[in-house]
Structure 1
Amino acid sequence: MKNSTPGYKNNVQKGDHSVAVDIRHLTDNQLKSLGMAQMAYVKSVVVDGEAAFAIHAADGTPMALAGDKATAFAAIIQQEMLPTLVH
């Protein structure tokens, strides 16, 4: 049974059954990888004196550059990921 309390427990598929995971007890590495495949963030940068927008994976790994914020967000959405803006 899935707990519906936000931020408390999630169910994780393990083979043919679900296992409840208390997210308050994640390790540092588990927390770092949370959302890795689903989220990317965009931040403004300067490259060769020109303004650009860098796209990074949730762990900070650089993935791409875009000339404007709308293009960066569109590229992330096209990959079925959730874009997040970092200030």
Structure 2
Amino acid sequence: MNVKTHDGSTDAFPLRAFFDPHHMTEAQLADLGLEQIAYVRPIMTPNGPAFGVFSANGTPMAIATDGNLARAAIVQNEMAPVSVH
């Protein structure tokens, strides 16, 4: 399917899963993946370096002492860990 030439109909998608990101509000875009995606990044705590787990919109969710432990916590909570560069 070519998004640029698609007519916008959802007839081929019985669950109405198709959406056009060009018609999303800024708030909808910020919430995209909020409950499904999380990322890990190094942080500094009062006790020294650690790894923070953040939701898709950047909200802090957890702190771990090890990056692998942080990613495991994401998977354990049925979310997808993503890389952020």
4+ aligned runs moved over 6 Å, structure 1: none
Corresponding residue pairs, total: 78
AA of the residue aligned to 1:81:
M
- Partners of 1:73 and 1:65 in 2: CA distance: 11
Matched, 1:41 2:39: yes
CA drift of 1:23 comes to 1.4
User: Whose strand proportion is higher, 1 or 2?
Assistant: 1
**Partner SS, residue 75 of structure 2:** helix
Matched, 1:27 2:25: yes
CA drift of 1:27 comes to 0.7
Alpha-carbon RMSD across the aligned residues, in angstroms, is: 2.5
Q: Which sections of structure 2, spanning at least 5 residues, go unmatched?
A: none
AA of the residue aligned to 2:27:
N
CA drift of 1:5 comes to 4.8
Q: Which sections of structure 1, spanning at least 5 residues, go unmatched?
A: none
